[in-house]
Amino acid sequence: MKKLTYFIHDGKGGYDPLFEYSAGDVGLDEFYARQLCTYFVIKGSQYELVSNEMDGEEEILVLENRGRNNSVLDEKSYRGSGIHVEFRRYLESENYRLISTVPCRTHLDVIRYLLKDITDVPNIGQMAVTSTEIDEDRGVYVLYVKDLHESHIE
C-alpha cells in the first residue's frame, strides 16, 4: 500500500477527493486502523464509510457526508499525546458520554479494539460496539458502545 485516499460520494455518481495519506505519512498499521472505522470526522464534519476499495497500491475509502459533527461537553484533543481510544455510550440522551479512555502503544493495539463486536471497556466490563470513528480533529479513535442487554439503538 502506498496511498490511502478518502473520497466523498456526491450523490450524483461522482466522487470528490477529501483527504489523502501516503505511506510516508502514516504506517501500515494506521492505514488498516483507519479502514476499520465506520465514521471519519474532519474539519467539523462527519462522514460515514460506504465502501472500502483497493486499486493496485492505493486504498480507497468512499464516504457520504453526514453533515456537521456535533461536539459533546467532555471532548478533548489528544493531538501530541500519543494514540488513544475513547469509549462512549451510544445514547444521544446521555450526550454520548465518555465512559473510558485507553492509551495505545501502536495502531495495532487500536486495531484489536476496532475488530470487536464485544469489547472489554476498562473499569466497566464487556459492552457491545455499535460503531467506530476516527476523529481527525481531536486525534482519537472512538468506539461507541452499549450494554450487552440493550436491544435497541437510540
**Residues 150, 68 contacting (CB under 8 angstroms):** no
What pLDDT sits at residue 95? 79
Q: What is the rounded CA–CA span in Å between residue 150 and residue 146?
A: 7
The CATH classification number of 83-146 equals 3.10.20.810
What pLDDT sits at residue 115? 97
Tell me what percent of the chain is helix, strand and coil, each rounded to the nearest 5. 10, 50, 40
In the chain, where are the structural domains located? 3-68, 83-146
Q: Residue 55 corresponds to which cell in the numbers above?
A: 486499486
What pLDDT sits at residue 125? 95
According to DSSP, residue 115 is labeled T
Q: Quick check: helix, strand or coil at residue 88?
A: strand
What pLDDT sits at residue 151? 66
Q: What is the rounded CA–CA span in Å between residue 103 and residue 84?
A: 4
Mean pLDDT by 10 residues, the chain (154 residues): 90 88 89 95 95 93 94 90 96 85 97 97 95 96 92 55
Q: What is the rounded CA–CA span in Å between residue 146 and residue 39?
A: 17
What pLDDT sits at residue 25? 86
With CA atoms as reference, report the closest residue to 131 among 47, 71, 23, 9.
47
What pLDDT sits at residue 93? 74
What pLDDT sits at residue 152? 55
**Residues 89, 121 contacting (CB under 8 angstroms):** no
- Say how far residue 95 (Cα) sits from the centre of its chain: 18
